[in-house]
Amino acid sequence: MARIVAGIATSHVPAIGAAIDQGKTDEPYWQPLFRGFEKSRQWIAALQPDLAIVVYNDHATAFSLEVIPTFALGCAAEFAPADEGWGRRKVPIVYGHPELAWHMAQSLILDEFDLTIVNRMEVDHGLTVPLSLLFGQPQRWPCPVIPVCVNVVQYPPPTGNRCLQLGRAIRKAVGSFDRDLRVVIFGTGGMSHQLQAERAGLINPEFDRRFLDALVHDPRGAAAIPHIEYLREAGSEGIELVMWLVMRGALDDRVTEIHRHYHVPASNTAVGHLVLENAASQPPSVGHGHRN
Ligand code: DHB
Ligand code: FE
């Protein structure tokens, strides 16, 4: 059976992708940010997942304001990196996994999540920057990727609770796929940031740290945060954080925090990052249960 073994949360700031592509990761501005991902890169290289589900938002790239799916599932065999105005990022094409994606479509829709099925789609920085952060600059991405898009661009986005429940349904869908696949799930976007209007540049480390703690230890509490609180505390684009709840919902209630990184600023944004493992995925620790 396929199963989800770990979750990764990370911001997907486009300037991070540009810094990687332009060889700037060792510059003083960027070095502290990228240092915080080194452990994660080693961790995922050792884990060698068979597949990644990447929960991200399309930034009016594949979907214009003419069609705005609340949740969309990428069922195609491949997804080309999009040209977002500066040419396509020179990153490998993203190969999908139509077999599992169609299985997920069936399981999720029959579970009453009315996802939009996408058979052709280009993927923007929301998906490719997290892959670069975790996998570096390979000739080919090390595993297939199933994109899950969430609308956080046009009001109303889905609630945090709906996102958590979607994560749970994704976990069930993956768990009923009859192939031995070790799957990781990414939740991307965030943390506090506002790119527009009077409060452009807003960053709120107190809110971000509270959110990181709640996401790990109190996912139901994190899922209860209303849209207005994200808007007020984390800025208009801070609403991207609901996508981290999809990732969290796909994991066990109790998880092991393998790594955390928080850095300000990247572009106009606070960058947050978590690596979480399901407890059952870890080898039992020596001496466990023998406290005398
Ligand atoms: C920016 C864009 C994003 O989509 C995001 O999540 C963070 C920052 C930006 O344009 O700086
Ligand atoms: Fe974004």
Given the residues 12, 59, 97, 193, select the one marked as catalytic.
193
Dihedral Cα 241, 149, 40, 22, nearest 10 deg: -100
Tell the residue nearest (CA) to atom 1 of ligand 1.
13
Residues whose CB falls within 8 Å of the CB of residue 47, separated by 6 or more in sequence, listed in order: 5, 6, 182, 184
Tell the residue nearest (CA) to atom 7 of ligand 1.
13
Alpha carbon distance 266, 243 (integer Å): 20
CA angle 47, 52, 55 (to 5 degrees): 135
Name the residue of 10, 11, 12, 13 whose CB sits within 8 Å of the most ligand 1 atoms, as the mutation to test its pocket: 13
Chain-centroid distance, C-alpha 51: 14
Alpha carbon distance 47, 5 (integer Å): 9
Q: Ligand 1, closest atom to CA 15? A: 11
Query: What is the total residue count of the chain?
Result: 292
Alpha carbon distance 241, 234 (integer Å): 9
Q: Which tokens is 132 given?
A: 């670069």
Question: Beta-strand (E) ranges in 11-143?
Answer: 51-56, 71-74, 78-79, 94-95, 116-118
The structure tokens 């999540």 sit at: 113
Query: Residue 290: what pLDDT?
Result: 40
- What single-letter DSSP state applies at residue 92? -
- Separation of CA 284 and ligand 2 centre (Å): 38
Active site residue 227: no
Alpha carbon distance 17, 145 (integer Å): 18
**pLDDT mean values, one per 10 residues, the chain (292 residues):** 97 98 98 98 98 98 96 98 96 98 98 98 98 98 98 97 98 98 98 96 98 98 98 98 98 97 96 93 51 38
Residue 278: Cβ within 10 Å count: 19
Name the residue of 10, 12, 196 whose CB sits within 8 Å of the most ligand 1 atoms, as the mutation to test its pocket: 12
Residue 114: Cβ within 10 Å count: 9
Alpha carbon distance 249, 253 (integer Å): 8
Nearest to 43 by CA among 4, 95, 6: 6
Alpha carbon distance 183, 6 (integer Å): 7
- What single-letter DSSP state applies at residue 149? E
